[in-house]
Amino acid sequence: MSDVLQMSDREISRVEVIHRVVQKHLTLRQAAAQLRLSVRQLKRLKRAYQRDGAQGLVSKKRGRCSNHQLETQTQTQVVHLLWECYPDFGPTLAHEKLTEDHHLALSVETVRHLMIHAGLWHPKRAQRPVIHPLRERRARFSELVQLDGSPFDCFEGRAPACTRLVYIDDATGRLLELWFTEAIPRARM
């Protein structure tokens, strides 16, 4: 066994705090608050430290593959099928075809990752939203008068449809004029 022990910064700070707990310089509750763990978790770590030393606090999963990792043989088979049958498909459609035709139970996200690594698909970058700066209002009354004309059934069928014409002062937002005129039907094209 090697004398060198690989630890993350988080694990090193755990060793220091738990060593202080073992030396009775800190209580379990104080150490749990400091490490942001429950007292129960800290008791488990303390037992591991007392049993195995600093080695007991190192993650046992370091260097191992994930439990949910796709098998290499399945990955190779999927990439081969993607290159052969579906080189111009997107991830969603390729996933559907792999499920229907080849009975492979994969997630769309797994197919997407395999397609990206195989060079079959390139994710599109999200476009930046266009931000239009707000126009400042004019400084003085009547410097800018805006006109809005909207054809609308203002009278809810109790009178013929009309067009509402509104003159609005930009500086104050005040209505200067408001007229209702007969609506001219639009010509059909």
* Whether residue 111 sits in one domain with residue 81: yes
Answer yes or no: is pLDDT of 189 > 60: no
What is the Cα–Cα distance from 36 to 9, expressed in whole angstroms? 15
Q: Specify if 133 maps to a domain.
A: no
Q: Which domain holds residue 153?
A: 145-182
What is the Cα–Cα distance from 26 to 14, expressed in whole angstroms? 13
Q: Specify if 62 maps to a domain.
A: no
- Residues belonging to the chain: 189
> CA nearest 59: which of 94, 25, 11, 103?
11
Q: What Cα–Cα distance (Å) separates residue 58 from each residue in 61, 67, 159? A: 9, 19, 82
Q: Specify if 136 maps to a domain.
A: no
Q: Specify if 139 maps to a domain.
A: no
pTM over 0.75: no
CA geometry: angle 110, 60, 24, nearest 5 deg = 135
Q: Specify if 107 maps to a domain.
A: yes
**Greater model confidence, 151 or 51:** 51
pLDDT at residue 59 in the model:
81
Number of domains comprising the chain: 3
pLDDT tens-digit readout, 135-147: 888 899 889 999 9
> CA nearest 182: which of 157, 156, 158, 153?
153
* Whether residue 78 sits in one domain with residue 48: no
